[in-house]
Chains A and B, each alone.
Chain A
Amino acid sequence: MRREPPQRLVDYGPLVFPAGMLTVFFVVPFATMIAVSFFQRQQGGFYTPAFVFDNYARFLSLFFGKVLGFSLFLAIAVAVACVVVGIPFTYLLSRSKRNVQIVWLVALLSILSLSEVMIGFAWSTLFSRTAGITNLLVWLGLMEQALALTPSFTAVMTAMTYQAFPYTILVLYPALVRLDPTLTEAARTLGASPVKAFFTVVVPVLRNTILATLIMVFIFALGSYLLPQLLGRPQHWTLSVLITDQAIYQSNMPFAAAMAVFLVLVSLALVGLAFYAGRQKEAK
């Protein structure tokens, strides 16, 4: 089949529907948010149209800088944790028996049906002093007495990694199934131990998939606002938590919008940087 660029206006016809959807559900809300971010806040919960930079100026402070820094750090940490656990797991899964694969995939995908609230409360129970896993360790004689593991950074990380893990597998699994198993066998005949073959062949061959997974989990984790509140201390709150707080509880829409726009810009910049780094490596 030959592919020709569209010649006349009618040739663009099939694009009308997706373009319309994109405009209505993405461009318009996002444009509204950008506009609101420049509006003037009125005491008492509303705003008037204006063009002021107050909202942006307000978070040029150490406090918001720290929150932004922590949000990015948390999202990157979750993305790295998902990929580091996900690749060996999916690699072994893709090489196991068919029915073993199906059981694992169904179990993992069923996590997707759990809402963030349920995941949050489940982990807060598991990490609690009264009903948590530490009781099991005490019972096994590994610990003196049960203690609460939440609120803590580890609890936030664990729950967020748990939540993002099925998405990680969904992206990695097809790529690893398609990976030619003779590549690792060839590496072994050439003198690489199975572990070395994994790091010198499987990981580099999947570089683009890994990069895509990192970016996806990063963006996914950046939007999480329930788990940090449920399982973390105030210093573990992310920018998303503050945005929710400002928008819903403080009724400060312009400031919430400004933070949201800033978050989008920063994450776009980071994703662009990752793509650029990937491109550079490829061109070499």
Chain B
Amino acid sequence: MSGLNLEHVTKQFGTFTAVNDVSLSVPDGTFVCLLGPSGCGKTTLMRMIAGLDLPTGGAIRLGGADITQVPTHKRDLGMVFQSLALFPHLTVGENIAYSLRIRGVAKDVQKARVDELLAMIHLPGFADRSVNKLSGGQRQRVAIARALAISPKLFLLDEPLSALDAKLREAMQVELRQLQQRLGITTIVVTHDQREAMTMADTVVVMNKGEIRQAAAPVDIYRRPADSFVADFIGQTNLLPVEADSAGRARVLGQAVEGLMLSAGATKGVLSVRPEDVQLTAPGNGAISGIVTFIRDLGGAIETFVEAGGQQIIAVSSPRSRPEVSVGQQVGIRLDPMTSVVLAK
């Protein structure tokens, strides 16, 4: 069994359970994003993988070997901290060479590797600079290079980009993903930015309250969320109550939706419809009827807020297909069974 495997990993602080029975399998070379709201246990889980905290239950395996009790400095991993934790008393080059120096690598080999890494992070010739005089983005890159100096088996990053401004963050996301693909290194990134997760990850792991709610490819997370928490957390969505009528057809806000089925035996559920999948039409003729309450023109997209049966439904359309509606107008809403997902809860 290769790759990284978490088996029923649990972490308790006193009586508080920060990570609860988490099992996850990460094949070699994949890019995983741990995503979830603040305080859901992402950092705690990552610290256990790094060995900085010990789990109170379960096991962690890397490449088949049980590393649950192996101390951090014997795990051969690379980690980038949220605060970056660059050593202020060392130069850029000395920071990057730290893990090599600790392992007693020859000076000239160290220097060659530092130059190689500096070229990789597009900062050639920076070896003798002080780390205190770098910009945020440059410090970021140095932290990444330092973590990768020994070519670790596992690369961990805890909210590595959160200190950067929006533009730089987007650029670094792409850069980080390209770097990971080039090196083929198993990478786990903690983030609470779902856009960031969607940009970089092969697998997005959505967590809440110490538990994994869903682990799947970004598209699947978006298109087929496992529950209403995931649907709501990833992007924008409309969550509407859905019931099965006597004939087994799904009814939303009093209207039957053709082609939509609840799971066998279920009578109630929640329907998740992405705003871009909501079609606004003329009222009547089998459509859910509602009243437009607000229109927000964001330039690139137009959001129409409709109130129907006490629920607010948001429809997003592109400026090309601008709906011919105005506030206070009665409209019809059509849901496409292909893009609507019935959730258990």
Contacts and interface: CB of A to CB of B under 8 A. Distances in A.
Main secondary structure of the interface of A (DSSP, over half): helix
B210 interface: no
Contact of B73 (A183, A188, A204, A207): A188
B88 A189 contact: no
B81 A204 contact: no
Interface stretch (A45-53, A156-164, A192-200, A237-245): A192-200
Interface residues of B, number: 26
A205 B88 contact: yes
A186 B88 contact: no
Contacts of B69: none
A44 B202 CA distance: 96
B52 A190 contact: no
Interface stretch (B27-35, B98-106, B185-193, B293-301): B98-106
B85 A200 contact: no
B89 A193 contact: no
Given A185-B52, A186-B79, A191 B85 contact: no
A150 B35 CA distance: 66
A201 interface: yes
B66 interface: no
A189 B89 contact: no
Contact of B102 (A180, A190, A204): A190
Given A189-B50, A191-B99, A182 B83 contact: yes
B172 interface: no
A247 to B, nearest CB: 45
Interface in A183-231: 183, 185-194, 196-197, 200-201, 204-205, 207
Interface of B: 50-52, 71-73, 75-79, 81, 83, 85, 87-89, 98-99, 102-103, 146-147, 149-150, 156
User: Which 3 interchain pairs have the tightest Cβ spacing?
Assistant: A186-B85, A190-B99, A189-B79
Given A189-B78, A190-B149, A196-B73, 15 more contacts: A180-B83, A180-B85, A185-B81, A188-B72, A189-B52, A189-B72, A189-B73, A189-B75, A189-B147, A190-B73, A190-B98, A200-B98, A204-B89, A205-B88, A207-B89
